[in-house]
């Protein structure tokens, strides 16, 4: 360990940022008022919560469901804690208190917490859980589950000041720390997550042993120290245990496991100052963004193993692109920005946020996509056996992940260093940020993502000198993603225009940011205009499935064509390079969307990808045939 350190760029806490827009604010409110209680209700109905009561001796009966269902409850608790941090809710607070009491009751005396084994050790399925503790970590999720417990505990403690859940988490972590280590049991979890949770425990408590344990679980991967390296589905890299983490250069295997691991590596790199970790995840990021990223920001090409494919293997109708993987991609790219301060990571984050993630949650907040394909024939099930979004799944990692992520979204808007305030996402609302020891109020006014105009009022408590860095999105700089995997086909669009108090300025451009250095006065107003023409997107020719095809983007949004808007079918559609494209905003359609129309010989109507499948089953495609000159 290199002593206390952390990310050089600090996110502004979500509790300091409020949304007032018509795009995200309603979704956050739906998440709080619908998705959160819906998830708790489903956890009750499916036995996920009663499993804790059974393990606590308060109920009779066998364990219900899958052995990693404990983690779903912990994730929803984390989302609930974020909601409590934003607004008092005595009923929710009391519900959590009762639930945490169940967790504590289900915890064995030495700190062990895994309801499947505690309820009836003799009934544990050897092929899944192993006959004894820690005997089948390749599959059984003993460590994965408690990683989510640690994240929930940190969130609950920070939101309420109560130690009840934190004490459960620390008791469990102490047990695991007594069992695992270089001179103890040398093994790793089959599904990464505990590394992220341990980093959060370290931040909350300052106890270095949690950070050491997180680093151990990472450093032990790819080493056969008295164990067989993990494989599955005939893929030696399925669990990223095929090579030591510092030697990995290609994203392989189960995409959520992989990107949780990269996220944990970023945390450990920041907290220890270990530059070798940074070099490794830099290589892996280049591989993902250059060769394995869908234009929607989704990741994971294969249903088998929920895995990354080979380089440039990006099928459309067969895409897995799990919602959890999009969330993982957002978590990872946020941390990459916090390490490097480069806008290209936020570009990928934004792409995943508005497209690959958002498609996974219905407008109503109680139906979900597990997978997010880029094409559908309207007949073949794409979503765990279903054509459309579903209320729940046997494996419901995505609905429970959605609720915790959305509640924390305001924390992705701003970041700071000692002398620079970064504006990363464009959402109407307000923020209260500290710069140079003084409070600075920010007020964004924008209709993003439908309009690229931003008005930002800067209100320091008193005049103050610092830099304001506004992200110039890659899409506004003629680059759909920060690699050569995709490119715009239609030349260059006009660049961003900035003014301060009505006077045009030419800012310094640094790592994708327009940097404005000045003494800020209360009431200063920065305006930025990002032109939002419709852009045709072409794919690298190495991606066989997209050769001769074209996609459409406008601002951060990827568009698709649905049969319901195009005569019932989209398989026959083609788009000429010369066909004029126009946009129309329809407040009454799909909760209010801007549609794209082509008025050529073959008219086409396209809607934002995130909104597809809200009007019943039907054909859909992101990529259509291109008619080139």
Residue keyed to tokens 């859940």: 165
Q: Which residues contact 126 (CB under 8 A, 6 or more apart)?
A: 136
Token output for 327: 């969330």
Q: Where are the domains of the chain?
A: 49-215, 415-471+496-529, 534-627
User: Quick one: which H or E segment has residue 470?
Assistant: strand 464-471
Give the least confident one: 2-6, 233-237, 278-282: 2-6
* 404-440 pLDDT tens trace: 999 999 999 999 999 999 999 999 999 999 998 999 9
Tell me how far the alpha carbon of residue 343 is from its chain's centroid: 17
pLDDT score for 232: 86
pLDDT score for 440: 97
* 174-220 pLDDT tens trace: 999 999 999 999 999 999 999 999 999 999 999 999 999 999 999 99
List of E strands, 101-222? none
For residue 490, report the phi and psi dihedrals to the nearest 5 degrees.
Answer: -115, 55
pLDDT at 2 over 70: no
What whole-number distance in Å separates Cα of residue 369 and Cα of residue 389? 5
pLDDT score for 1: 46
* 274-311 pLDDT tens trace: 999 999 999 999 999 999 999 999 999 999 999 999 99
* 250-271 pLDDT tens trace: 999 999 999 999 999 999 999 9
Assign domain 415-471+496-529 one CATH number from 1.10.10, 2.10.260, 2.60.420, 2.40.50.
Answer: 2.60.420
pLDDT class for 492, splitting at 50, 70, 90?
confident
pLDDT score for 4: 57
pLDDT, the chain, mean: 95
* 365-403 pLDDT tens trace: 999 999 999 999 999 877 676 778 999 999 999 999 999
Q: What is the mean pLDDT of residues 158-168?
A: 97
Residue 389: other Cβ atoms inside 10 A: 20
pLDDT score for 126: 73
Active site residues: 306, 397
372: closest CA among 309, 304, 294, 312?
Answer: 294
What whole-number distance in Å separates Cα of residue 564 and Cα of residue 568? 5
The pairing of beta strand 497-500 with beta strand 503-505: antiparallel
DSSP 328-362: HHHHHHHHHHHHH--HHHHHHHHHIIIIIIGGGB-
What whole-number distance in Å separates Cα of residue 372 and Cα of residue 601? 31
* 81-101 pLDDT tens trace: 999 999 999 999 999 999 999
The answer to whether the beta carbons of residues 11 and 415 sit under 8 Å apart is: yes
* 16-39 pLDDT tens trace: 999 999 999 999 999 999 999 999
217: closest CA among 170, 173, 251, 161?
Answer: 173
pLDDT at 5 over 90: no
The pairing of beta strand 429-435 with beta strand 593-598: unpaired
pLDDT at 358 over 90: yes
Token output for 290: 């250059």
* 137-159 pLDDT tens trace: 999 999 999 999 999 999 999 99
C-alpha pair distances (Å), 133 with each of 113, 130, 553: 11, 7, 50
Q: What is the mean pLDDT of residues 579-606?
A: 95
pLDDT class for 123, splitting at 50, 70, 90?
confident
Cross-strand bridge partners of residue 585: 594
The answer to whether the beta carbons of residues 251 and 308 sit under 8 Å apart is: yes
* 509-548 pLDDT tens trace: 999 999 999 999 999 999 999 999 999 999 999 999 999 9
Q: How many CA atoms lie within 13 A of 212 on its CB side?
A: 14
pLDDT score for 130: 81
């Amino acid at each position: 360990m290199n002593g206390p350190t952390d990310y050089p760029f600090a996110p502004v806490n979500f509790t300091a940022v409020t949304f007032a827009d018509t795009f995200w604010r309603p979704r956050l409110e739906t998440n709080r008022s619908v998705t959160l209680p819906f998830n708790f209700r489903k956890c009750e109905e499916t036995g996920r919560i009663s499993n804790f009561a059974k393990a606590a001796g308060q109920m009779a009966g066998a364990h219900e469901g899958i052995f990693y269902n404990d983690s779903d409850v912990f994730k929803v608790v984390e989302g609930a804690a974020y909601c409590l941090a934003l607004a008092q809710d005595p009923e929710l607070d009391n519900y959590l208190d009762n639930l945490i009491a169940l967790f504590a009751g289900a915890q064995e005396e030495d700190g062990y917490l895994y309801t499947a084994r505690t309820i009836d050790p003799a009934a544990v399925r050897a092929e899944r859980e192993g006959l004894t503790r820690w005997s089948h970590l390749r599959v059984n999720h003993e460590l994965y589950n408690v990683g989510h417990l640690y994240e929930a505990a940190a969130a609950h403690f920070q939101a309420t000041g109560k130690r009840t859940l934190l004490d459960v988490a620390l008791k469990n972590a102490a047990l695991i720390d007594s069992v695992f280590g270089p001179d103890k049991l040398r093994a790793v979890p089959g599904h990464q997550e505990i590394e992220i949770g341990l980093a959060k425990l370290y931040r909350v408590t300052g106890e270095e042993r949690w950070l050491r344990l997180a680093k151990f679980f990472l450093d032990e991967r790819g080493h056969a120290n008295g164990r067989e390296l993990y494989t599955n589905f005939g893929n030696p890299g399925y669990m990223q245990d095929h090579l030591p983490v510092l030697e990995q250069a290609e994203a392989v295997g189960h995409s959520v496991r992989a990107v949780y691991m990269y996220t944990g590596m970023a945390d450990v790199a920041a907290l220890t100052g270990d530059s070798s970790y940074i070099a490794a995840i830099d290589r892996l990021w280049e591989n993902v963004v250059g060769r394995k990223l869908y234009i929607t920001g989704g990741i994971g090409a294969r249903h088998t193993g929920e895995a990354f494919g080979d380089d440039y293997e990006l099928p459309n109708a067969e895409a897995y692109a799990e919602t959890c993987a999009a969330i993982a991609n957002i978590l990872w790219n946020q941390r990459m920005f916090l390490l490097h301060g480069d806008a290209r990571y936020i570009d990928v984050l934004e792409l995943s946020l508005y497209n690959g993630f958002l498609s996974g949650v219905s407008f109503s907040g109680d139906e979900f996509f597990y997978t997010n394909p880029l094409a559908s024939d309207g007949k073949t099930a794409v979503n765990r056996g279903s054509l459309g979004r579903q209320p729940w799944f046997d494996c419901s990692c995505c609905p429970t992940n959605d609720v915790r992520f959305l509640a924390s979204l305001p924390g992705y808007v701003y970041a700071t260093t000692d002398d620079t305030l970064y504006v990363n996402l464009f959402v109407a609302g307000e923020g209260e940020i500290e710069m140079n020891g003084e409070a600075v109020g920010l007020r964004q006014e924008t209709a993003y993502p439908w309009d690229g105009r931003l008005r930002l009022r800067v209100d320091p408590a008193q005049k103050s000198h610092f830099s304001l860095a506004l992200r110039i999105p890659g899409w506004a700089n003629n680059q759909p993603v920060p690699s050569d995997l995709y490119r715009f086909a239609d030349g260059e669009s006009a660049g961003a225009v900035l003014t301060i108090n009505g006077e045009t300025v030419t800012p310094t451009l640094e790592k994708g940011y327009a940097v404005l250095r000045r003494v800020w006065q209360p009431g200063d107003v920065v305006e930025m205009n990002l032109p939002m023409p419709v852009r045709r997107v072409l794919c690298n020719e190495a991606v066989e499935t997209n050769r001769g095809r074209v996609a459409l983007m406008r601002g951060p949004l990827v568009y698709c064509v649905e049969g319901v808007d195009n005569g019932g079918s989209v398989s026959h559609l083609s788009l000429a390079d010369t066909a004029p494209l126009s946009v129309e905003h329809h407040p009454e359609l799909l909760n209010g969307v801007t549609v794209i129309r082509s008025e050529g010989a073959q008219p086409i109507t396209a809607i934002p990808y995130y909104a597809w499948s809200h009007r019943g089953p039907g054909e859909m495609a992101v990529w259509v045939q291109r008619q080139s000159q």
